[in-house]
Amino acid sequence: MAANFNEHSDISAADLTRLSQEAKAEATPSSARIIWDEFKADKPAMVALVIVVGFILFVMIGSLFINTPKMMETNIMNYFSQPGQNGLFLGADSAGRSVAQQLIVGSRNSIGIALGLTLISSTFGICWGLISGYFNGYIDWGMQRVYDFMMMLPMTMMIIVLVTIIKNYNAVTLTLIFSIFYWEGTSRLIRSRTLAESEKDYVAASKTSGTGNFKIIFREIMPNISSLIIVDTTLSIAENIGVETGLSYLGFGLPLQTPSLGTMIANANDPNNITQYWWTWLPAALEIIILCLSISYIGQVIRRAADASQRQGATD
Amino acid sequence: MWKTILRRILIMIPEVIILSILVFLLAKAMPGDPFTGSINPKSDPAQIKHLMKINGLYDPWYQQYWNWVVHLFHGNLGNSYQYQEPVTRLIGGRAQNTLWLALFTMILTYALALPMGVFAGRHEGKIPDTVIRVYTYVTYCIPFFVILVIGIWIFGYVLGWFPTTGSISSEASGWLHTLGSRFYHVLLPAILGALFGTVNIVQYLRSEVIDAKRSDYVRTARAKGVPSKDIYRHHIFRNSLLPIAAFAGYSITGLLNGSIFTETVFSYPGMGLLFVNSISYRDYTVITALVLIYGILNLLGTLLSDIILSVVDPRIRIE
């Protein structure tokens, strides 16, 4: 077939490669490419990306080398060791436990929960928003009433109450409890975009030609609002780090023997700790700040990449 | 407009009923019963059983729920086991502190956010706008409780400018002195809350001002020769103010949810701290009452905002 084609056409093989190269150069770059260009054009964004990715890798790999039960053992010899003393990089807390090690394991737990929570709550929120926005009418009305009701619930209190009811909860149940309450923001955002998207011609055309509703929703509308989804998910991660650490700070997050960035900041509740033994809590607080700022900044850059009018990276 | 408001209120009723059922069932699901606190080694098991029976704890749940609701409407929320006093009186005392703090934070937030929003909108795309954008971005990203902890560390402990616990100094005597002490105790949490709570108002106001700048009435005013300062102060700001006022309801909701953290960090005896303490003491009557009150306050907050918005913005009324 190919040989046949070459015989009867005037275009040589060299022309063909040249043409395909030209076409490639003129084609709209892929979204991954656009986002990458955007990062390359924005130095602070690159720094943020390196911080976040490097830190997550460091924490995930580092925590593999730490024996958590052994780390959480009381060691009276190291009682409030200062940073640098006794070979402890960031000192030790009231039970003589290494702050640096707790920080690594705690970060892994906190980031892990934040990622898990984002995955579950965003998936649910996206589906809820897409379905609610697409099926305008009674379904939307009903789903919006559920949304209103969830918005009325005092979230922090409900989570605390649920945590006290469920015995022997762990990181997984905790993530699930959080997920019940943190899908609303995403769902509202996705719904409003889906409402606008459903008005467009391609949806009408698809309906007329008999495509199934769910195929239209997930194969046609969802890809079209994918940039919004990516941006919202990135921003949710930063927010969700705050959710878990906040609850752990209050004492209703992860159990005491499982370190979290929040339980470490809770060291600051003691007036002696907060002034004299600052190293027990300040590193965790600073880490949360840096992490949240970096992740949100990455989200902002992706948002810029998604909106052609705001791009800073090379466009053509 | 009245139709929208009425419809909005009608939707509220089933929401409150479902909330109350949910809260009631959650309270039932919690371990222990109302007499756990009063049991001592000498209590007779048969007597406890009798007590539970006459208090209706063996009735089916809908019967118990109904009794609870009837008590609720009589203003009887039960007794707190931890404090041994009626829940209504206990919460009444704490609510005053929480509302005082929330009100103060809200006033400061608006005092900060309104000029910033107008300023950013007026100098759109220039350096002041960028600075304000970076500021709102940073304040939005950082989890609030971290800010509270760092704030109390720097300003409360290291610099010693502000008190770190309580709502009122124990030495305060006399009307004026008491008020001053109260004010002094809420100042730091309120400032921190205001500094880190401006983002919504600033962003909304900024886009309102940018829209208004290009509108016809502003062009007319300019053509008449009204000075730029007056255009912003009298024309644009007044037009943007009412939608901003609608945010007040949502702010209440946000402040209430934040109060749990603020009051824990500052050991400020409000409803949020009462909730956290009650949870650790398993004081169920107080917990149930607080969740219900917060839920209803949330609802009223959003209702208030929706009503103001529907009054201000006719587009919302068309449904």
Q: What is the pLDDT of residue B246?
A: 74
Across A88-108, average pLDDT: 77
Q: Does A196 touch chain B (CB under 8 A)?
A: no
Contact A59, A76 (CB under 8 A): no
A242, pLDDT greater than 70:
yes
CB within 8 Å of chain B, chain A residues 136-175? 145, 148-149, 151-158, 160-162, 164-165, 167
Contact A151, B302 (CB under 8 A): yes
What's the distance, CA A79 to chain centroid? 37
Report the sign of the C-alpha dihedral through residues B187, B140, B251, A177, in that order. negative
Residue B305: list chain A partners with CB under 8 A. none
CA–CA separation, A53 vs B80, rounded Å? 50
Least confident of A150-154, A242-246, B72-76, B191-195: B72-76
Query: What percentage of chain B reaches a pLDDT higher than 90?
Result: 1
Q: Does B70 touch chain A (CB under 8 A)?
A: no
- Model confidence over B141-153: pLDDT tens digits? 888 889 888 888 8
CB within 8 Å of chain A, chain B residues 178-207? none
Q: Does A271 touch chain B (CB under 8 A)?
A: yes
Yes or no, beta carbons of B26 and A292 under 8 Å apart: no
Q: Does A250 touch chain B (CB under 8 A)?
A: yes
Q: Does B26 touch chain A (CB under 8 A)?
A: yes
B278, pLDDT greater than 90:
no
Yes or no, beta carbons of B138 and A281 under 8 Å apart: no
Least confident of A81-95, A104-118, B98-112, B235-249: A81-95
**Burial class of residue B284 in the structure, from the number of CB atoms within 10 Å of its CB (0-12 exposed, 13-18 middle, 19+ buried):** buried
Q: What is the pLDDT of residue A316?
A: 42
CA angle at B111 for the pair B110 and B114, rounded to the nearest 5°? 65
Contact A79, A276 (CB under 8 A): no
CB within 8 Å of chain A, chain B residues 250-269? 256-257, 260-261, 264-265
Across B290-300, average pLDDT: 88
B319, pLDDT greater than 50:
no
Yes or no, beta carbons of A165 and B31 under 8 Å apart: yes
How sure is the predictor about B39, in pLDDT bands with cuts at 50, 70 and 90? low
- Closest CA relative to residue A191, chosen from A119, A143, A240: A143
Which residue of chain B is at minimal alpha-carbon distance from A142?
A: B11
Across A127-150, average pLDDT: 88
**Of residues A154, A249, A296, nearest to B294 (C-beta):** A154
Q: Does B88 touch chain A (CB under 8 A)?
A: no
Helix (H, G, I), strand (E, B) or coil at B319: coil
Residues 6+ apart with CB under 8 A from A313: A34, A37, A38, A39, A40, A41, A42, A305
Least confident of A70-79, A147-156, B15-24, B253-262: A70-79
Yes or no, beta carbons of A246 and B164 under 8 Å apart: no
A1, pLDDT greater than 50:
no
**Of residues B30, B145, B291, nearest to A157 (C-beta):** B291
**Of residues B11, B146, B294, nearest to A285 (C-beta):** B146
> Both tokens of residue A203?
């949806």
Helix (H, G, I), strand (E, B) or coil at A92: strand
Tokens 């705050």 correspond to what residue? Answer: A242
Across B22-35, average pLDDT: 76
Yes or no, beta carbons of B142 and A250 under 8 Å apart: no
Contact A108, A63 (CB under 8 A): yes
Q: Does B145 touch chain A (CB under 8 A)?
A: yes
Contact B259, B8 (CB under 8 A): no
Q: Does A301 touch chain B (CB under 8 A)?
A: no
- Model confidence over B121-130: pLDDT tens digits? 888 888 888 8
Q: What is the pLDDT of residue A315?
A: 46
Bridge partners of B79? B86
Tokens 């997920």 correspond to what residue? Answer: A179
Q: What is the 3-state secondary structure (H, E, C) of A291-308?
A: HHHHHHHHHHHHHHHHCH
Least confident of A65-74, A116-125, B17-26, B255-264: A65-74
**Of residues B11, B143, B291, nearest to A145 (C-beta):** B11
Quick one: residue B174, left, alpha or beta (phi over 0 = left, psi -120 to 50 = alpha)? left
Residue A219: DSSP 8-state: I
> Both tokens of residue A168?
């022997």
Yes or no, beta carbons of A275 and B158 under 8 Å apart: yes
CA angle at B124 for the pair B118 and B126, rounded to the nearest 5°? 120
Distance (Å) from the C-alpha of residue B286 to the closest C-alpha of chain A? 12
Across B170-198, average pLDDT: 81
Bridge partners of B86? B79
Task: Characterize A238-249 residue by residue with b for buried, 16 or more Cβ atoms within 10 angstroms of its Cβ, and e for exposed.
Answer: bbbbbbbbbbbb
Residue A292: list chain B partners with CB under 8 A. 141-143
Concatenating the DSSP letter of every residue in B35-91 gives TGGG--TT--HHHHHHHHHHTTTTS-HHHHHHHHHHHHHTT---B-TTT-SBHHHHH
- Model confidence over A29-74: pLDDT tens digits? 677 777 788 788 888 888 888 888 988 898 888 888 877 776 677 6
Chain A interface mutation, best of B142, B271, B300, highest count of A Cβ atoms under 10 Å? B142
CB atoms within 10 A of CB A150: 16
Q: What is the pLDDT of residue B60?
A: 77
- Model confidence over A165-213: pLDDT tens digits? 887 778 888 889 899 888 888 898 899 888 888 888 888 898 889 888 8
How sure is the predictor about A120, in pLDDT bands with cuts at 50, 70 and 90? very high
Yes or no, beta carbons of A152 and B275 under 8 Å apart: no
Alpha-carbon torsion, ordered B87, B90, B92, B93, to 10 deg: 180
- Model confidence over B87-98: pLDDT tens digits? 888 888 888 888
Chain B interface mutation, best of A146, A147, A152, A261, highest count of B Cβ atoms under 10 Å? A152
CA–CA separation, B72 vs A207, rounded Å? 52
